[in-house]
Amino acid sequence: PRVRDLGAYELEAAPSGPVVTTGLDVVDRFDDVVSLREAIAFNEAQGGGGTITFAESAGAVIRLTLGSLTANRAFTLDGGGTVTITGDADADDVLVNGLTDVARSQVGEDRLDDNLQLFRIGSADVVFTGLTLTGGRTGSGGFEGGAVAAGGAVTIADALVAGNSTGGGAAA
């Protein structure tokens, strides 16, 4: 019998969750892009447990403008070492090395008045890896983290959480 050589090929594993393709904070199922907000909603609809990653087309900065990102199901958010998520909706914070400088942003005109908390997580366990969380803020009287408020376990690995603030309690 003859053996046919099919040649060599590489099989890439499919992502275990949605891939963010835009840095815009949008929700539009007909725009042919996937925002971080939409990726989290998809993970929720699929029962959780997925890993959300970012395509190069998403860019380096995800600027939240539609409010905090909310989730009640587990997920891993993997920025690949290149993604920054900020709550600075108006892009007016004073930055130092790409991070919100909370003290300098409050001098004179309060540039933090447009900032919002990045993540509100229910009882789900989440993992943040390979990304930066900055510019998150809770309002006066807020007692949850400026970047993340979570009822479940939060694992931060190879990620930077800095330049976040809150009206009270911890600023993480």
Chain segment 29-44, per-residue pLDDT in tens: 999 999 999 999 999 9
Beta bridge partners of 129: 78, 157
pLDDT of residue 170: 47
Of residues 27 and 12, the one with the higher pLDDT is: 27
User: Hey, which residues does 19 pair with through a beta bridge?
Assistant: 53
Q: What is the DSSP letter of 136?
A: -
* Average pLDDT value for residue range 74-89: 96
Please report how many Cα atoms fall inside a 13 Å half-sphere around the Cα of residue 112, on the Cβ side.
25
Element (DSSP H or E) covering residue 36: helix 36-45
pLDDT band at residue 110 using 50, 70 and 90 as cut-offs: confident
Q: Residue 9: pLDDT above 90?
A: no
Give the global pTM. Answer: 0.86
Amino acid at 137: R
Residue 114 carries which side chain, given as an amino acid letter? Answer: D
What's the pLDDT at 139? 74
Share of the chain above pLDDT 70, in %: 85
